Amino acid sequence: MAKCLLEFRSGTLLCSFTECETPPVNAIPFLLYDERVEKWRAQASDYAALMRALYADHVEVTDEAKNYQTLDLSLKEPISPMPHQQKALDSWKKSTPPGRGVVVMPTGSGKTFLAVLAIASVKRSALVVVPTIDLVHQWASVLERFFSVPVGMLGGGSKEIREITVSTYDSAVIMMEHIGNKFGIVVFDECHHLPGEVNRTAAAMCLAPYRLGLSATPERDDGGEAVLYSLVGPKVCEIFIDELEGNVLAPYITRRIEVPLLPDEEEEYLAARSLYTGFIRANRINFSAKDGWSQFIILCARRPNGREVMKAYLKQRSIARCGRAKLQVLWDILMSHRGDRTIIFTADNDTAYTIGETFCLPVITHKTKAAERKEFLDRFRDGTYTVIVTSKVLNEGVDVPEAAVGIVVSGSGSTREHVQRLGRILRSAKGKQAELFELISEGTGEYYTSERRRSNRAYRRKG
């Protein structure tokens, strides 16, 4: 009988076969001969498939790769899943292969609880991978509450690995070649981050047979969702915002407000815009092309008036994103929602800080230090602060259950970003009516940007 010694090495699997000249036929698709070490090597993420293949080939396997435990896990809080959560869990368990797949659910619909159910059902050492430090703490506290076990954390200075561990994507990428065999189930929260060239190694170097991806918007502009489905499993369940509105999620309305520029700003905008668009036309730059933007930058550096054009581009963008008229409308909305928990979203840090300086408001960007960020969020959650300004860092993940009003002062054309921003204010609360305002400068390119980002089903019947 053929024998195989399976080892976990540097985020990969090394296989040594004895009593057979070549690897058995079913295992071959997963193996490559590595002349550097004179052994067969496989991707760690193929562990489950490889084991099945070796089993099918009647190979006697000495498995020194797997280093995770079967846990005696049970939920300490007896909570029944909501129907949509039960449906998602069942779909994941019955997927092909079982226990691997991506669940698409809106923010606020209980993705975390679904993950808790999945971990409880497989009862294996578990790793949850999340995009930010805030989420590491948030997930760790939820998992500790449900399972009554200490939870390890990786990232933001913490380096503690336990049977249930939560890690940032960054730390997972760095650590996975050492810890990728310690978990039987891995959960990727906000899993649309996973297909990135670097992040994907966190999934590839982990041998966990059970995998769950969670996202409200898994599709990517670069088509990276194919990588996601190959590393985590296929999309097994999709639930839309409007299916849960008024029941699981708060009822909501979206309002787009077109704000006319002030006369002097309009004049300045038109002059800058004309210089910039003239340059684009003259040089036949196509921003729809993949390299359109880099072509614009290169030509700005090379052409004699390039620097002036770049300044004009920045000027017209800054007026459209945050002109004085927009600030006034923003203030009017704040005045009409005094006391309501409100998040103001911007496309860039400069605009966020301009609003923060102008109205003395707390701003959270990637530049905000951890302690102050925590203080801002704690005070926002407990209602001490009612308004918070952010650029993109609160688009996803951070739990701000009480927010009822969102004001998009500026944003990209990304549908995902817009759906995520809507999701921030939809967590259900008694009597809550969520409102998402979108401010766009009238007669500027912002209109088209807004049209692009509103193409999601969640906006089609609203506003």
| Length of the chain, in residues | 463
**For 336, which DSSP code?**
H
Residue placing its CB nearer to other proteins in the complex, 192 or 200: 200
Per CB under 8 A, the segment of 152-160, 270-278, 323-331, 404-412 that binds other proteins is: 323-331
Distance CA 350, CA 328 (A): 17
Residue placing its CB nearer to other proteins in the complex, 171 or 415: 171
Q: Which amino acid is at 202?
A: A
Distance CA 322, CA 310 (A): 18
Cβ neighbours, 10 Å, residue 73: 21
* 362 near other proteins, judged by CB under 8 A: yes
Per CB under 8 A, the segment of 29-37, 138-146, 209-217, 403-411 that binds other proteins is: 29-37
Distance CA 31, CA 456 (A): 42
Helix (H) or strand (E) holding 8: strand 3-9
- Taking the complex as a whole, the smallest distance from the CB of residue 322 to other proteins amounts, in Å, to 14
Distance CA 327, CA 321 (A): 10
C-alpha distances out from residue 342 to 123, 138, 234, 386, Å: 40, 21, 36, 6
Distance CA 214, CA 185 (A): 13
Distance CA 421, CA 402 (A): 14
* 339 near other proteins, judged by CB under 8 A: yes
* 285 near other proteins, judged by CB under 8 A: no
Residue placing its CB nearer to other proteins in the complex, 43 or 410: 43
Residue placing its CB nearer to other proteins in the complex, 25 or 37: 37
* 56 near other proteins, judged by CB under 8 A: no
DSSP string, 158-198: EE---SEEEEEHHHHHHHHHHHTTS-SEEEETTGGGTTSTT
φ/ψ of residue 320, rounded to 5: -65, -40
Helix (H) or strand (E) holding 4: strand 3-9
Tokens of 374: 């925590």
Per CB under 8 A, the segment of 128-136, 143-151, 247-255, 375-383 that binds other proteins is: 375-383
- Taking the complex as a whole, the smallest distance from the CB of residue 144 to other proteins amounts, in Å, to 29
Residue placing its CB nearer to other proteins in the complex, 88 or 232: 232
Residues numbered 97 to 156 that lie near other proteins (CB under 8 A) are: none
* 298 near other proteins, judged by CB under 8 A: no
- Taking the complex as a whole, the smallest distance from the CB of residue 34 to other proteins amounts, in Å, to 6
**For 399, which DSSP code?**
-
- Taking the complex as a whole, the smallest distance from the CB of residue 337 to other proteins amounts, in Å, to 10
* 301 near other proteins, judged by CB under 8 A: yes
* 371 near other proteins, judged by CB under 8 A: yes
Residue placing its CB nearer to other proteins in the complex, 281 or 338: 338
Residue with tokens 């039960």: 86
Distance CA 373, CA 261 (A): 33
Q: Which residues of 341-367 are buried (b: 16+ CB within 10 A; e: fewer)?
A: bbbbbbbbbebbbbbbeeeebbbbbee
| Residue from 21, 35, 72, 382 in contact with other proteins (CB under 8 A) | 35
| Residue from 384, 429, 457, 463 in contact with other proteins (CB under 8 A) | 384
Q: Which amino acid is at 311?
A: K
Residue placing its CB nearer to other proteins in the complex, 245 or 340: 340
Answer whether the bond into residue 98 is a cis peptide, omega within 30°: no
* 32 near other proteins, judged by CB under 8 A: yes
Tokens of 142: 């939820």
* 157 near other proteins, judged by CB under 8 A: no
| Residue from 359, 400, 442, 445 in contact with other proteins (CB under 8 A) | 359
| Residue from 50, 71, 136, 387 in contact with other proteins (CB under 8 A) | 387
- Taking the complex as a whole, the smallest distance from the CB of residue 127 to other proteins amounts, in Å, to 18
* 264 near other proteins, judged by CB under 8 A: no
C-alpha distances out from residue 288 to 276, 284, 310, Å: 16, 12, 19
* 292 near other proteins, judged by CB under 8 A: no
Size of the site for other proteins (CB under 8 A): 52
* Per-residue binding letters, 195-224, with other proteins (x by CB under 8 A): --xx-xx--xx-------------------
Residue placing its CB nearer to other proteins in the complex, 14 or 73: 14
* 38 near other proteins, judged by CB under 8 A: yes
- Which residues of the chain form contacts with other proteins (CB under 8 A)? 9-12, 32, 34-38, 41-43, 177, 197-198, 200-201, 204-205, 290-291, 294, 301, 307, 327-328, 331, 334-335, 338-339, 353, 356-363, 367, 369, 371-372, 375-376, 379, 384-387
